A and B are shown apart, each in its own frame.
Chain A
């Protein structure tokens, strides 16, 4: 079974249907880039995978577990918020606007999950957190508060914070869109090395270069539906659908 399986996912806000039946599979170790115009529902879909939004119809499984539900005796029971929190431990998320905890240092941000959520010992977690900061190239910024870091550095700390939970899956929602152009590279480098290490990732991005070189598969979303999917070479260089062609003509 694929690590992520989404079938017929629908989601409306009020009267507007934002996701109109999305099917998607993400294999273990696969990197999938979600592309599409603004308002296509890319963020909404990502948030559904992490149960930050509830879905109206369809089902999403992560590692064989139905997101937002507990199956028992052939029935699915909707989860309480506490139980949903437990499910989210296995899925890391990186936000466009970083969302680091401003009242904690970089190191404390990374330690927060393992200590407060998993209840692990501080000393052991601290060593791991320092290693993660080292991995994203920020060992020397461990004691800095988010406000003292550049956007690129904050985003790398945010990636380390998500990794500290040892997730099976990482979700990235336009992780470089809020960054100055010269800072985009350092974040993409970290994501690239993560992909090389075999992390399963769903990445919403407008960085076509990143999609081309790192993604195993590109999924193109328009108006809440998947219009085209395939290898980067197929979708990016030889798009079949007019909507994909129009979009790529604008961003390339």
Chain B
């Protein structure tokens, strides 16, 4: 389309008509209406909203919160350490180590976490005691508390994922970096610690953060073996007063708080290890 303006006209003060976005106004209005409708439904629902804050800070709920945090952090921390070891085995020159790593990942990633938790918790049914000959021997049902079973179930499954994440991170670092480190006389361990891992972090941190957020929520599976995490805590409270939804909402609020904090933490970690 030819312009009806000439270059000289552009020097004058012309009225500029900004582009209109009717579609945005329409979709925005629809979204706001939907939200308003949901809010109205919540207000109309037969929920004792005024009871929720009390459950939020109920001593049993707080105990469940603490247990949830301890379980999630311990399982994720253990998974990271194990994951690094398995990833190094996966990348090692030793074929036995490589095969072991592949099998480990296949097994612990392949089974549902819930199933793994149940198997650990019921281990006493098939092994009466856990022992290393001549070193120690303990009865299985003493060691395998709900916490330990949940820790193993969640942690081992996560360690298989961490192994793959760490492996991807290590492989992402240019081979020239290792050569440069070697050329100034660095040992393999120092090279890993000072050169390769810090650079692999950029690749490792984002998926690890996502997995940790999943881990926080995954701890809820420990409720099936009566470990006192948030959901089990909520059930304990509501079994006395029958305010099931109110206690579940209080637990839900705690999950959102934890997940939000974890996301903020991940943001700062990513910035600390981000590209220069």
Contact = CB atoms under 8 A, between A and B. Distances in A.
B183 A81 contact: no
Contact of A93 (B177, B183, B199, B275): B183
Contacts of A97: 176
Interface string B145-169: 0000000000000000000000000
Nearest to A110: B184
A52 B174 CA distance: 15
A99 B183 CA distance: 11
Contacts of B174: 99
A85 B182 contact: yes
Contact of B180 (A89, A95, A145): A95
Among A81, A118, A145, max chain B CB count under 10 A is at A81
A113 B185 contact: yes
Contact of B184 (A103, A113, A147): A113
A88 B276 contact: no
A164 B203 CA distance: 31
Contacts of B239: none
A116 B179 CA distance: 16
B39 interface: no
B188 A103 contact: no
Contacts of A82: 187-188
Contact of B179 (A52, A145, A147, A165): A52
Interface string A60-93: 0000000000000000000001100110110111
Interface string A192-222: 0000000000000000000000000000000
Contacts of B194: 112, 116
Contacts of A102: 199, 276
Contacts of B182: 50, 52, 85, 88
Contact of A103 (B176, B186, B187, B276): B276
Interface in B99-122: none
Given A95-B179, A99-B180, A147-B276, A165 B187 contact: no
A42 interface: no
B198 to A, nearest CB: 5
A117 interface: yes
Interface residues of A, number: 32
Nearest to A89: B185
Contact of A117 (B184, B199, B275): B184
Interface in A137-161: 145-148, 158, 161
A94 to B, nearest CB: 9
A194 B182 CA distance: 22
Contacts of A158: 180
B129 interface: no
Interface in A95-111: 95, 97, 99-103
Contacts of A26: none
A92 B183 contact: yes
A92 B180 CA distance: 10
A85 B276 CA distance: 29
Contacts of A85: 182, 185-188
A162 interface: yes
Given A99-B176, A145-B276, A162 B183 contact: yes
Among B179, B184, B186, max chain A CB count under 10 A is at B184
A50 to B, nearest CB: 6
A214 B43 CA distance: 86
B190 interface: yes
Contacts of B177: 99, 101
B195 interface: yes
Contacts of A81: 187-188
Contacts of B187: 81-82, 85, 117
B184 A95 contact: no
B79 to A, nearest CB: 25
Contacts of A95: 176, 179-180, 183
B179 A99 contact: yes
22 contacts: A81-B187, A81-B188, A88-B183, A91-B183, A93-B183, A95-B176, A95-B179, A99-B177, A99-B179, A99-B180, A100-B180, A102-B199, A103-B198, A112-B184, A113-B185, A116-B186, A117-B186, A117-B187, A118-B185, A145-B276, A158-B180, A161-B184
Interface of A: 50, 52, 81-82, 85-86, 88-89, 91-93, 95, 97, 99-103, 112-113, 116-118, 145-148, 158, 161-162, 164-165
Closest 7 CB pairs of A and B: A89-B185, A99-B180, A113-B184, A93-B183, A99-B176, A145-B276, A117-B185
Given A82-B187, A99-B177, A117-B186, 8 more contacts: A50-B183, A85-B186, A92-B183, A92-B184, A93-B183, A103-B199, A112-B194, A116-B186
